[in-house]
Amino acid sequence: MNFINPFINMFGDIAPIIAMIFVFQLLILKQKIPNIKVVLFGLLMVWVGLTFFMLGLEKALFPLGRLMAEQLTSLDFLGKEELFWFDYYWVYIFAACIGFATTIAEPSLLAVAIKANQVSGGSVKPWPLRIAVAFGVAIGIALGSYRIVAGIPLHYFILTGYLIVIVQTYFAPKQIIALAYDTGGVTTSTVTVPLVAALGLGLASTIEGRNPLIDGFGLIAFASLFAIMSVLAYVQLKHLINK
Amino acid sequence: MNEALRRLANNLLESGKDLLPIVLVITFFQIAVLQRPIPDFSSIALGTFYILIGLTLFISGLRTGLFPIGESLAHALVKRGSLLWLLVFAFTLGFGTTIAEPALIAIAREAADVAAIGGIISHDQSAVDNYASTLRITVAIAVGLSVVLGVFRILKGWSIQWLIIGGYLLVLLTTLIAPEWIIGIAYDSGGVTTSTITVPLVTALGVGLASSIRGRNPLTDGFGMIAICSLFPIIAVMIFGILL
């Protein structure tokens, strides 16, 4: 296994942020960097860590996503020739399980849930919020898999979802809106994204009549959208009950 | 040193927690539903180990090296009160963190492979690499501009929902003229870009700014930055598809 080349290639990816920090600190603020040794050691860890992480993605997460898609749609697993969208129900269940499990364990969602608790003056509880978002993401990724299987254009779903978010925004308590919108970007972590993307691409390449180029992407968009909708829905529900 | 080891162990635990649900769900499906062993098990196990080590080092490095200095820099620039430098900082922060975001590196590679197979670009390696890096630079510029917009929003006190609804309308309009093959990757890029590096640093800038301006509440005005950063890349990637 060759580690040297990917290691060198990775440097280009972290160079801009490092350069920027040094330029701002030394030239614009004209201050020395505190604990320079610790900072440099940290950056070295970032570099080595990123290299290993990317190697691991190629060897494990991408193949796993593709393998699950292939196995769950293979004809000898499904056991018949004529297939309708509901014959792929194990695909939807798998997608929902991955969505639920990764969201419930997501550390940044926990951080958002704690902030939401503070913003709402304690009425939004962290645990129920996390469960609500995890259910939302589970439904989102399952629906997204159905879209790939059925071959329906992605933007029909996403633009409808935007409409729902706008309506929800109108009714939602003001102080929670920004936080709810942020949840969409926060819930899909670095580990989940490659796995879910590989699942979508795998489904689009194994199912008859689907094209990875057009049908393969979009699962992550579903996950982000449904995360926003579930936070707004949960807060709205809470608001109605408390009234 | 003990303290450093303890933190490393904590980060290892956190990476493990990130991976565990995936391992559990897949193992359950393999045993109970598919009832067969995972193909190519040893290679996947080795890859999972790389991810565990890589993620742990990556997060530890960010927490000891990048985050403290990035946050103190954000606070220092907010205090300095020069709007121009603040905006330049906001742009480069968004751009730099996005270029280093591992999920985006991974997705851009996949998108480039799929584009080559689908005949959008030619098959040779340089065309594929070129497509992947142009895609990432497009997203990074969009995130940079989003952070600038987010800074403006906090300074001016604009309400987040109008920005987001305006953004949704732009997404709708661009979707109408964008080629079909870019829509999926464009919509996905929104959720992909805001991850491990971008979220903490951009949030630090937003919260720092909101707490230093009178009349702004860090808890309500400090948020919304990530939402803007996950919306505008969608539009930028579709424009990239139109121009290609």
Residues B169 and B233 both lie in one domain: yes
Residue B115 counted as domain residue: yes
Residues B217 and B96 both lie in one domain: yes
Q: Does the pLDDT at position B221 exceed 90?
A: no
Per-residue DSSP letter, B103: H
| Rama region for B37: left / alpha / beta (φ>0; ψ in -120 to 50; rest) | beta
Residues B101 and B16 both lie in one domain: no
Q: Of A94-108, A124-138, B218-232, give the lowest mean pLDDT range.
A: B218-232
The whole-angstrom distance between residue B119's C-alpha and the CA centroid of its chain comes to: 28
Residues B117 and B18 both lie in one domain: no
Nearest CB to B114: which of A13, A63, A212? A212
Which tens digits make up the pLDDT trace of B163-208? Answer: 999 999 999 999 999 999 999 999 999 889 888 888 888 888 888 8
Q: Which of B38, B65, B92 is the last residue of a domain?
A: B65
Per DSSP, which regions of B135-201 are E strands? none
Domain of residue B40: give its range.
Answer: 1-65
Residue B165 counted as domain residue: yes
Which tens digits make up the pLDDT trace of B134-160? Answer: 999 999 999 999 999 999 999 888 889
Please tell me the distance in Å from A53's CA to the nearest CA on chain B: 4
Residue B71 counted as domain residue: no
What was the pLDDT predicted at B48? 94
Residue B137 counted as domain residue: yes
Size of the A and B interface in Cβ pairs below 8 Å = 331
Q: Does the pLDDT at position A170 exceed 80?
A: yes
Question: Based on the structure, what is the number of domains in chain B?
Answer: 2
Residues B136 and B60 both lie in one domain: no
Distance CA A15, CA A17 (A): 6
What value of ipTM does the predicted structure carry?
Answer: 0.91
Mutation test of the interface with chain B: which of A40, A44, A46, A231, choosing the one with the most B Cβ atoms within 10 A? A46
Residue whose tokens read 């045993």: B31
The residues in B 60-89 lying below 8 A from A, measured between CB atoms, are: 60-66, 68-70, 72-73, 76-77, 80, 85, 89
Residues B13 and B102 both lie in one domain: no
Q: Give buried/exposed letters for B73-106 (b at 16+ CB in 10 A, else e).
A: bbbbbbeeeeeeebbbbbbbbbbbbbbbbbbbbb
What was the pLDDT predicted at A2? 67
Contact indicator for A110, A131 with CB cutoff of 8 Å: no
Residues B117 and B211 both lie in one domain: yes
Distance CA A164, CA B130 (A): 37
Residues B56 and B85 both lie in one domain: no
Q: Write down the pTM of the prediction.
A: 0.92
CB atoms under 10 Å from CB of B236, counted, come to: 21
Residue whose tokens read 């020739």: A81
Residues B18 and B110 both lie in one domain: no
